[in-house]
Structure 1
Amino acid sequence: MKNLLFIIVIILFSSCNKLVLDNDETDSQTNNFEIFWKDFDEHYALFNVRNIDWNNLYDVYKPQVNDDLSDEAFWGILSNMIEHLDDSHTSLFDGNGHAYRSGATLNNQSGNEISERLIVTNYLDFVTRVPSEDNLAYGKIKNKNIGYIYLGTMDGENPGIIDNIMIELKDYDALIFDIRQNTGGDDRYSARIAKAFSDGKHFIYTVETRNGLHHDDFDEKTIEYTHLNQDTPYLKPVIILTDRATISAGEIFLSHMKAFEHTIQIGDTTAGDFSTVSNMRFLPNAWHYRYSIQKILLPNGQSLDGIGHVPDVYIKNTEADINASMDKVIEKALLYLWDEFQID
């Protein structure tokens, strides 16, 4: 194996430490494995939260590695090792379009359990798309005095646009807020969207960033609260629809929303991947990867990483439901609004 002739410096969010791969770093399968394992060992944030024995995984996978191993076989070893983390924020890339994301199987399957065309055609009187934002649209449920918002990511340019949307939707008796397949993004965006529905300031979680070589080394806790809305928040019933692909900043949005008395979660359990992700990390073979660098805890000290937000009312679509032109999750939300509030 040749030596890699370059220097790469990656600065983690979690510390001022630098990982330097200098010009005499050996590009061999065994050395790549050692760098990969050690980097996780020193910086990954969720070993204790997810009950992972990282040393044991070293003992399992290191004997499978030798310098004659093909890249395909080596890729399989690293992928299998990080799959134990069950953490969709942990990904491996080969630089040629091939990627592996830990714990993503159920998230990916859920893509067949929702259909934008079906929602627009069968359930909405009208739909208005917001051009300045990524995957944000709103409308009205057919033949009902119920508003509808779909938000597919927390990566837009202007989360304050939600205030304009709610001016248009304020006279509806209830709202369905659909964050199924929400891919996450910026936690600040999530918080600002949720502010439009805030009934007050609530302590919702703490954030700690890994900052040392031991698995329990973290910086001081930061306390996060819902934002107080001193204008005219929407305080009528809000149903939030979720699925297994509701992830990261989408789950942070849900953390805000579930603190409010007038909201309820209906659908499937969310992905359970809350952490901020590291900068991209590199190996001498030019493969790159990233991982979770924070832990987020509820006020009672519990982590939802690896668990997700469990819905108040559980229901999910099957692919057969969608093919039969039925969204049972929306149907359940409408039934709930009638049963609990006589809203139709």
Structure 2
Amino acid sequence: MNTKNIFFSLSFALSGGAATAQEIPKSLSNTVWLQQGYDRILTIKDSTYSYYNINSVTCKPMIDGVFKDRFKMVSLKKGALIVNPGGIVHYNFTALDQLPANCTREARKELSYPKNFQVFWETFQNNYAFFKERKIDWKAIYDEYFPLVQNAKTDKEFAGILKEIVGKMKDGHIRLDLPDDLKEKPAPIAIATGTVHLRQALLSDLKNTYIKELKSYNGGVLQWGFLKDSKVGYIIISDMNNFANYIPEEQQNSKEFRALYDKISEAKPPQQMFDDEIAGTEKIMKTVLHDLEGSTSMVIDLRFNGGGYETVALKLLSYFVKSKKKVISITAKTSSGFTPKQDYTLYPVEKGYDQPVYLLLGPNTASAAEIFALATLEYPHITRVGSRTSGIFSEILWKELPNGWEFSLSNEIYTDNKGKAYEATGIPVNIEMNYPRKHPDFNNSFYPNEVFKDQALDKVLELELLRK
């Protein structure tokens, strides 16, 4: 799978819901638009579009295709266009008279380190939404590092400066995609205990110890059963993607599953691919709730879920709520402020689950899985257990330096119904289990150690509260 192309697709359609195929209005033909909060340019011809990444130095085409395969029209007024890529975030554009000149010239790499640093710094200045939350003085970063950039003599030196800055941000959605010869091998993991328990082995131990009649869908993206010696249903969701019903049941847990799934998924038009994710979610959830019928409560485990498609997350949640509520608001950072606030209302499915729900969270619960958790704040029958989540909610906005290196940042602010954001802090829990924040220490905390020699494998799944 080409991960970068998927990220570019997600910039349009990570929200993933259905969109009606439609022809574009004639008034949109041969028009040019600047996207607010993303600093990208959209050009529309008769039925096709092109999408450009733009900065103060370069403007480079990023992706193109058939307009109706990508967008649904929301609003078109004089000088203002709003489209929806199939999800919860509308994209706002303002009209331009013509494509900027640097978009029409043949793209040439600008190799000056100061010029590339200037673009890097300006892009964050214009679009990054969380300097305050991450305790970063961005002007001080410029003053500290620009003299070092001016003295840099090699790509390695310049890359080292950018990596040092990114490391200070402590934002899991900020990434540098450097050339292979500049990439470093990951440093050895520092852990508090001597043994490293791997995620897959831990999950296997948990399921074998606590779950009966376990069933699995699409390589384990969703698994379900009952807690042993109880009538409590248990659902563990490892990702918020790969839910499309492409692969026959007998191959869903085979070694070939991933290659088969990716081949089919990548051949789909983008809008169809995301529609398929929602259709697959709906299909499997009917099976899950049928199999867990008669359960007295439900445990939903997101402690090992690093994200995916936010509409998959919210569709899953819709099976466990009883009323429609406004649950999330979203805005994006611009150079002069923010895009108009957008509210998202969650609607319950017709035949959903109507018993108490316990949502398991931890420091590895991230991105779209946190959006699931964020929406639960409006539903008091859902009890959150574990520890606060990772604290990275925004879509990943990919940009490019004039020298061709790519990087990403967080430009969208997700808030609850009261306007509170949880970036950097994460979604809080009702019942605190004090999980370690570092990934390997979190895994190791499930096993006995020198301090807790008689520790249960999973203190949460042994809580009496969950088994009533």
**For this structure pair, what is the TM-score category when the shorter chain's length is used for normalisation?**
0.7 to 0.9
Instruction: Count residues in correspondence.
Output: 319
1:162 and 2:285 are equivalent in the alignment? yes
2:327 is matched with which residue: 199, 204, 207? Answer: 204
Aligned CA distance change for structure 1 residues 114 and 298 (closer, same or farther; 3 Å) = farther
For the 8 Å contact 1:92–1:100, the answer to whether it is kept is no
2:204 is matched with which residue: 117, 123, 127? Answer: 117
1:86 and 2:205 are equivalent in the alignment? no
Summarize deviations over 1:202-224 as a string: whole Å, max 9, x none. Answer: 222210122x323xx21111111
Secondary structure of the corresponding residue to residue 311 of structure 1 = coil
1:58 and 2:142 are equivalent in the alignment? yes
1:283 is matched with which residue: 382, 397, 401? Answer: 401
How many Å separate the matches in 2 of 1:113 and 1:314? 24
1:300 and 2:418 are equivalent in the alignment? yes
1:190 and 2:313 are equivalent in the alignment? yes
1:32 and 2:150 are equivalent in the alignment? no
Identity fraction in percent: 22
Q: Map residues 143-182 of structure 1 onto 2, 5 A cutoff.
A: 143-155=229-241, 156-157=243-244, 158-160=280-282, 161-182=284-305
Q: Map residues 195-344 of structure 1 onto 2, 5 A cutoff.
A: 195-210=318-333, 212-214=334-336, 217-229=337-349, 231-278=350-397, 280-315=398-433, 316=435, 319=444, 321-322=446-447, 326-332=456-462, 334-338=463-467, 343=468
Larger RCO, structure (CA 8 Å, separation 6 or more): 1
User: How many Å apart are 1:320 and its aligned residue?
Assistant: 5.1
User: How many Å apart are 1:48 and its aligned residue?
Assistant: 4.5
Instruction: Give unpaired runs (5+ residues) of structure 1.
Output: 1-9
For the 8 Å contact 1:91–1:99, the answer to whether it is kept is no
Instruction: Give unpaired runs (5+ residues) of structure 2.
Output: 1-10, 12-33, 42-52, 60-105, 245-279, 436-441, 450-454
1:137 and 2:223 are equivalent in the alignment? yes
Aligned to 2:128: 44
How many Å separate the matches in 2 of 1:143 and 1:159? 29
How many Å separate the matches in 1 of 2:173 and 2:185? 11
How many Å separate the matches in 2 of 1:43 and 1:246? 25
**Structural RMSD (CA):** 3.1
Q: Which has the larger radius of gyration?
A: 2
For the 8 Å contact 1:125–1:141, the answer to whether it is kept is yes
Aligned CA distance change for structure 1 residues 248 and 26 (closer, same or farther; 3 Å) = same
For the 8 Å contact 1:146–1:172, the answer to whether it is kept is yes
How many Å separate the matches in 2 of 1:226 and 1:206? 12
Secondary structure of the corresponding residue to residue 266 of structure 1 = strand
TM-score of the pair, normalised by structure 1: 0.82
Aligned CA distance change for structure 1 residues 310 and 320 (closer, same or farther; 3 Å) = closer
For the 8 Å contact 1:61–1:77, the answer to whether it is kept is yes
Aligned CA distance change for structure 1 residues 113 and 257 (closer, same or farther; 3 Å) = farther
TM-score of the pair, normalised by structure 2: 0.62
